[in-house]
Amino acid sequence: MNIVENHKILQSASIREALIKLDRLASDAILFVIDEEGKLLGSLTDGDLRRGFIKGLGFDDNITDFIQPSPKYILEKEYSLDKLATFRANHFKIVPILNEQHKIIDILNFRTRTTLIPADAVLMAGGEGKRLRPLTETTPKPLLKVGEKPIIEYNIDRLQNVGIKNINLSINYLGDQLVDYFGDGQERNLNIKYVREDKPLGTIGSILLIDNFDHEDIIVMNSDLLTNIDYADFFKTYKDSNADMAVAATSYHVDVPYAVLEVNETNRVKSLKEKPRYTYYSNAGIYILKKDILKMIPRDQFFDITDLMDRVIEMNLNLITYPINGYWLDIGKHEDFKKAQEDIKHIKL
């Protein structure tokens, strides 16, 4: 039974059934009472039952006599990160998410999910992983295990933890194994869909094979990364900057073992730096972009995401960077894979 079913109860259910479900939920003990059509009627807690009993209600009375008739909820596609922050600041622990028909489609538990990012996600998972052979001869790189689970599963779990439900996988090499592993995502309370390239389309071209996106913003990422990037802060920075596209970046340091002379055009020395360190920022393979800029991608052609970034810059649109301050590792070579096996013992993803 998934999280939604755990927290739902029909108005026709008995008080005994409600008590059993509340007991099973333990510290998350709140039920959302629905009618026969699945529409939300109210919420029910141990405290509501206790107050009802004090007022003289009994086990034979209807659940609706005990409920709070105006529970807080979130409407799908009609919420903001600021609204969620308000819920959290007011110490709400569990809030139902409703569709347009006021039926519960998800549950936000602030103990396990910090926020709900209103975006779809695309994970690029079609590469052959040639540099990791022979490991990838019979297994696609995203399904190689780091610790107890595949690389890609860490990324999907982290996206789910910030409320992203619509996840698209772009597959090719040994792609059926990914389909078999994740299925349609329903068991994980996700909507997972797949697109498959008939020919190489670069690192972003296959995104046009996806029929529809529910949200106006899309997170695109490589599936072979290990990272604990703060997606909520990344998305908030992107929105606050009114950006058209954002690229996550990792810092790369170059230590020069000698004194460096800075000179002008006539070779006159302007300054001297003793063994300086220079910091550069590199593309980390994680992006957020407006759905509207997908129109810049040519259909059925090889097109890399760096090509898209060039077009965004040429059009004088707002492209920003977001520095990853936490852990990030691109698993491209055997030494990276070995490092990941050690790192996973000490980091939280």
Residues 6+ apart with CB under 8 A from 21: 6, 9, 31
pLDDT in tens, 149-205: 999 999 999 999 888 989 999 988 888 899 999 998 888 888 999 999 888 888 899
Given a cut of 80, is residue 8 above it in pLDDT?
A: yes
How far apart CA 153 and CA 155 sit, in angstroms, is 5
Dihedral sign, CA of 195, 198, 204, 208?
Answer: negative
Give Rg (Cα) of the chain.
25
Residues 191, 197, 202, 207, CA torsion sign: negative
pLDDT digits (tens, 9 = 90+) for 244-303: 999 999 887 777 788 888 888 888 888 888 877 777 788 899 999 999 999 999 998 899
Please report, as a single letter, which amino acid is at residue 248. A
Q: What proportion of the chain, given as a percentage, has pLDDT over 90?
A: 41
List residues bridging with 10 in a β-sheet: 34
DSSP run (H or E) holding 193: strand 191-196
The answer on pLDDT for 51 being more than 70 is yes
199: closest CA among 304, 301, 307, 305? 301
State pLDDT tens for residues 66-115. 988 888 888 877 777 777 878 877 788 888 988 888 898 888 888 877 77
Cβ atoms within 10 Å of 68's Cβ, excluding its own? 15
* Mean pLDDT estimate for the chain: 88
The larger pLDDT score, comparing residue 129 to residue 317, is at 317
Alpha carbons 69 and 66: distance in angstroms, whole number: 9
The yes-or-no verdict on residue 1 having pLDDT over 60 is: no
Q: Which pLDDT belongs to residue 332?
A: 85
Least reliable range by pLDDT among 31-35, 53-57, 84-88: 84-88
Report residue 345's pLDDT band, with 50, 70 and 90 as the boundaries.
Answer: confident
> Is residue 326 pLDDT above 80, yes or no?
yes
Instruction: Give percent of the chain with pLDDT exceeding 70.
Output: 100
Of 7-16, 183-192, 256-265, 326-335, the range with the lowest mean pLDDT is 256-265
Instruction: Set out the domains of the chain in order of their start, with CATH numbers.
Output: 3-109 (3.10.580.10), 120-343 (3.90.550.10)
Q: How large is the angle between the packed helices 231-240 and 81-89, nearest 10 degrees?
A: 130
- What is the rounded average pLDDT of the residues 115-133? 87
pLDDT for the residue 195: 92
Residues 6+ away with beta carbon under 8 Å from 330 = 222, 224, 225, 284, 285, 336
For tokens 């070779």, the residue is: 267
The reported pLDDT for the residue numbered 74 is 86
What whole-number distance in Å separates Cα of residue 234 and Cα of residue 132? 30
pLDDT at 24 exceeding the cut of 60:
yes
Please give the Cα distance from 248 to 48 (Å, whole number).
46
Q: Provide the pLDDT for residue 19.
A: 92
By C-alpha distance, which of 330, 123, 325, 105 is closest to 234? Answer: 325
